[in-house]
Amino acid sequence: MISPAGPPELLNLDRAVDWLKQLGFQIKVGKYVRNVNGYLAGSDQERLSDFHEMFLDDTVRAIICSRGGYGSARFADQIDFNLIRRHPKIFWGYSDITYLHTAIRQITGLVTFHGPMLASDWGMADVPLLSRLLFSQLLQPGWLRYDEQVSNLYVIADGVAEGPLVGGNLSLLVSTLGTPFEIDTKKKLLLIEDIGEDPYKVDSMLNQLRLSGKLDQAAGFVIGNFRLDRLIEEDDSPSFDEVFKTYFGSSGKPALSGFLIGHCRPNFSVPLGTEAFLDTEKKQLWVQPGVF
């Protein structure tokens, strides 16, 4: 386990580690996992060192991040991607980890996993069963099907599309633009989710993706959870769904919202970089396994 972004809450971290040990896993703890440097889990070099060390160690089969927050992008340009190519393994997290998912996939071709993290999810006192069960995709791989048995889904634009599932946290995707790690959406299903962002900020970020051509290039859109833990300040503010309809409703490409993917409970974990199939009439998303 590593902390490539913010420092984890230690009680939750220990609780998550105990759960993994009960499942029979052996845990290797990054040297700097528990460090605190303001809003970062140690210095950039310390967090990068743990990241490299876990990929280098061939006894490590999976790397799971302790939490998100902020900080992964600060060392992205110092990552040894050849090291990752030589020692491919499971890499798991979400939120700020979106930056690492995007960089790793686009440079090395490695499939990574968008899913619950140690301290911020699995270490909570009451973890939804579905969040735990989806971890089994690493041990018993198979196609994942998401339909309305999981949650209510809403059609923003009709259609059927297929392609590699990419994306993650919307704020982080936008922050890749103009960098060597700029998100590639061409002929891909774009997953977006976020937390704590007002509809007008989501509007602004989607507009940035539109102006940069990323929405036009995508094959379709998987809209995850957009959580705002307070009332929208402006009474006349559009809803999230109204913002989504603005950008996806007349796109001519399928868009489905309501997925419990992101900062939510339960958190439905999915591989990024594998083939996926989206059908708005059946309200289904199918995702190819990330391990075989």
Where do we find the tokens 């009474």?
Answer: 235
Catalytic residue, candidates 3, 46, 193, 269: 193
Note if 250 is an active site residue.
no
- The token pair at 20 is 């993994």
Cα gap 1→20, rounded to integer Å: 11
Cβ atoms within 10 Å, residue 234: 10
Catalytic residue, candidates 72, 95, 131, 171: 95
Cα gap 46→2, rounded to integer Å: 10
CA dihedral of 152, 206, 6, 85, whole degrees rounded to 10: 90
Note if 263 is an active site residue.
yes
| Residues marked as catalytic | 95, 193, 263
